A = this chain, B = another copy of it.
Amino acid sequence: MAQPNHDPVAGDVLGAYLRSQATAFLRGLRLHATSGPDLARSGHAARRLRGAARRISGSLTTFRGVTESGWSDGLRTELVWLSSTLADEHAYADRLARLLDALHRLSHPPELPVPRNTAGPAGTGGPAGTGSTGTGSTGAAGAAGALTVGCARAGALLERRLTPARTRAHSATLQALGSARFHAVADAVAVLASEVPLEPVAARGRAREVLVPMAAAAQERLAAAVAALPDPGGAHRYHADHDGSWHEVRRLLRLHRYAREALGEAGARLAEAGEALDRHRDAAGAAAASAAAARTPRIAPATAYALGVLHADQRHEVEAARSAFHRIWSPPPERNPATAPAPAASVTP
């Protein structure tokens, strides 16, 4: 809770947060309208718009009943529609960039220093068992070359497949932003920026008695979802069957984070955990796109091979993001006091 007011009223706390996010939304909208053909600027504006829309809809979800319900349920639905429409275009762009980056990395390892020869005295010979020569050792250079060709082709294929989807999503964004539906959302947010429709009884209660328990419930839903995450298993590494539980944790973590923001409690740890889950989502999507591209009829074996390496690479990134999340969320005991010096009491899962 904000320090200056020791015991503020729920409506004041939530109202201030919603007004500030509504203002950020309107600023993003103005930025977007004036960005013209500047893609970087319009992308930045759309991100701000989405961030504010998510925060408003998230707060209306967590603190449902503190605002006027009929109004807030309607606005929430519209904000979800808007932010997911805006998200699609960027998701396709980011996914293609991620896949092309990964392919570049796969086909171009950085230059190596010449390995030092650390062998024993000349003529040592050494014990046998390094053996196992023959098949498989047919030239690492040739293998790298084949992977490079495959990666170039796989990149071209992914570009052919993802660019139309991105273009479609871009048109959908433009269409949405010009629609009557969007103008109605913008009008509602403009109202919100000046006056938040509150539910009189709940809003007049103390924040610690009204908002804090609601935020705690959101946190409990998150903790339960984290506890229910399937055990990591090597056999599942290349399969998407666990992804859904993780995406759900990502959604609940966001709600928890926005609820804490509304209470004036920012947390670097929550932001970091959220970033790990964003990477998780991106890598899982990229892996799926790679697998889907490999099912394109009549592709060259080299292309399919590169897509297989790429798929496994992105699933490996999925695993890495899961480990990163677990490290942030429940660091090993000996490091705990160091990473959480301030007693962020209510945050610990």
Contacts and interface: CB of A to CB of B under 8 A. Distances in A.
A6 interface: no
A208 interface: no
A218 B304 contact: no
A288 B91 CA distance: 35
Interface string A299-310: 111111111111
Given A105-B235, A125-B80, A241 B112 contact: yes
A261 B236 CA distance: 41
Interface stretch (A8-16, A37-45, A54-62, A264-272): A54-62
B312 A316 contact: yes
Contacts of A254: 127, 129
A232 interface: no
A254 to B, nearest CB: 5
Nearest to A81: B128
A252 interface: yes
B130 A84 contact: yes
B87 A131 contact: yes
Q: How many A residues are at the interface, by size bracket?
A: 35 or more
Q: Give the number of times this chain occurs in the complex, counting copies.
A: 2
Contacts of A68: none
A61 B125 contact: yes
B128 A292 contact: no
A118 B312 contact: no
A302 to B, nearest CB: 7
Contacts of A95: 132, 136
Interface in A253-291: 254-255, 258, 281, 285-286, 288-289, 291
A254 B131 CA distance: 14
A21 B300 CA distance: 54
A292 B141 CA distance: 12
**Closest 10 pairs between A and B when the two form their complex, measured CB to CB:** A308-B308, A91-B132, A83-B128, A312-B312, A87-B131, A301-B304, A118-B225, A136-B289, A136-B288, A54-B127
